[in-house]
Amino acid sequence: MQSFDLIVIGSGSGLTVSSEAADLGLAVAVVEHGPFGGTCLNRGCIPSKMLIHSADVMETIRRADLFGISAQVSGVDWDFIVRRVANTIDADAQAIEEANRQHPNITVFKDTGRFVGRKALEVGGKRITAETIVIAAGTRPRVPDIDGLTDVPFVTSDEALRLPKQPRRLAIVGGGYIAAELAHFFGALGTEVTIVHRRPRLLRLEDDDVSALFTEVYQRRFTMLLNTVVRRAYRDGETIALELASDGQQRTLTTDALLLAVGRVPNTDLLDVAQTGVAVNDRGFIKVDEYLETDVPGIWALGDIVGRYLLKHSADLEAAHVAQNILNSENKMPVDYHAMPHAIFSSPQVASVGLTERQAQEQGLPYVAGTYKYYDTAYGFSIEDKDGFAKVIAQRETGEILGCHIIGSEASILIQEVANAVRMRLTTEAISQAIYVHPALPEVVQRAFHSLPI
């Protein structure tokens, strides 16, 4: 059995730990069965946003008449769109792998790893061990238990980003951020999209006002089958048939392609983490303390496999802390997740930080809330954003900013200033009393703050 000072399982954010340790002279093993760079680079946020930009461009063209411009699309080069993304991502992944292989203190094991003991792994027929192990092996798309599904050529987000051919009709099962983003991508480029969701609204984890408006907008864009479950899937010639149930009513949906976007599950089972004695919760995510160490001393975990936030920037935050806490164990630092923002790159975009209004109510906090519509600002009016709004929640007595929720153009950009303020636990005056450029879109955020009844 080959011994190392440190083993890192997963080549996403975990590489922050392995690279820092290797630069300090430690013997490091990196275990990765797929392309380097993790989910974000290869199957998640980066390729999806590159593809979605093509959809955004298409949407801009289709709305050109609103601004006195006559434009039309003569065609969509699907091969080019997919190849552009794939070539970029694959080159980046290969460069990351080569950099690790060339480091004198890093040994790359390019195969599937599986625990065979408390601190021992079997990788490609070899066994390796280390006193310190970091598990950063992420998650994978969840595949629901649907009768007949194994006989149907479905795809998940892993495959959807590299489909060799654009489907004419696509059924998406799910109602979260992945379903929202991919519906926008395929739909804007001309695919007939049907969303099948078992709940009454999309994006249920967002603020209720945002979720309600988003659902309304998507009902204009796509065929939406809400409060609907898939009972059975089967082939119908060259197509896929889904037997659906909604409020006791049965119907059949026929489609050319089926995308499952119903959440993600941790890879702890594939790693056989049980062999280490590391505790997991009832959903299979690894339990860690405030320093990200498991209940087995010397075994740490970070990123999606911990299940705190399934976000790349959260994983990067955690990786920095794990590196600090392993390499400077006398000065360990707990992770402060306060003000973790997120964004959904759909159309309209959605972005959020802090508490939703429902969460403030559930926690019994004295709060005030205010909203302001894009269209009531000069820039929002100029870009014809008639749906978007910014919503702010603040503590009634102190004025501390508790949360902000934005739906509309460039929401992913607009949220950042509020995320910074919430992170620093500032009061509403930090934004309401600031000087904003006029006319510019960030005014919608400031005016939402001005609308607070405090």
Catalytic residues: 438
Cis peptide before 439 (omega within 30 of 0): yes
CA within 13 Å, CB half, 367? 22
Is 65 strand, coil or helix?
helix
CA within 13 Å, CB half, 219? 12
CA within 13 Å, CB half, 421? 27
SS3 content of the chain, % helix, strand, coil (to 5): 35, 25, 35
d(CA 141, CA 173): 12
Give the position of tokens 């461009």.
57
d(CA 29, CA 27): 7
CA dihedral 268, 272, 274, 277 (to 10 degrees): -90
Helix (H) or strand (E) holding 157: helix 157-160
Using alpha carbons, select from 257, 226, 259, 244 the residue that is nearest to residue 147.
244
**Cβ count near 323 (within 10 Å):** 20
CB 352 within 8 A of CB 206: yes
* Beta strand residue intervals within 10-157, DSSP E: 28-31, 106-109, 113-117, 120-123, 126-135, 139-141
114 strand-pairing partners: 122
Using alpha carbons, select from 138, 107, 101 the residue that is nearest to residue 124.
107
Helix (H) or strand (E) holding 102: helix 78-102
